Amino acid sequence: MTINQIQLLISLIPLTYVGGAMIPIIWADTYRNRVPNKIVVPLMLLTLLCWLTLAIWQGEWIKLGISILFFVGTILLGLLLNIKFDLMGMGDVKLLATLSMILSWFSWGVALVFLPIMAVLSLVIGFFVIMLSSAKDMRLAPVVFITFGFLVAVAMN
């Protein structure tokens, strides 16, 4: 196994975790209306560890900095949406921030469109959920993962 292959495997670790955590997060969000910290926080830390390892190994400090900036920016935006407008829960905020940190490592341009796409999709789907059912609340996790998967495919090409 070459060094490049090992580095590629390290970069795929957070994506593999996301793939494995997707169903439990969607289930918890749908049935308990919570995105569990015990799944999201390890993903956050694992992603940071992988990106730090790759930054040290490859000298990709700018990519690490951009990823951290996206994470912090998404957290701040999420705090605003949570505290001021009560539009999303903190579990959703942490999940979106971590996914934007992952996306920005592969392509900051794709990560930049992640939040606006999520906002538009959430508004459109939320409108239809409220209009077509008695539900007053929309579960964001399925929309987040579908959008994230599509954008990861775009970012990795």
pLDDT band of 17, cuts 50, 70, 90: very high
Q: Give burial (CB, 10 Å; 0-12/13-18/19+) of 44.
A: buried
Count the Cβ atoms, other than its own, within 10 Å of residue 47: 22
What pTM value is reported for the model? Answer: 0.87
Chain segment 57-101, per-residue pLDDT in tens: 999 999 999 999 999 999 998 898 888 877 778 998 899 899 999
Average model confidence (pLDDT) for the chain? 87
Given a contact cutoff of 8 angstroms between Cβ atoms, the answer to whether 126 and 17 are in contact is: no
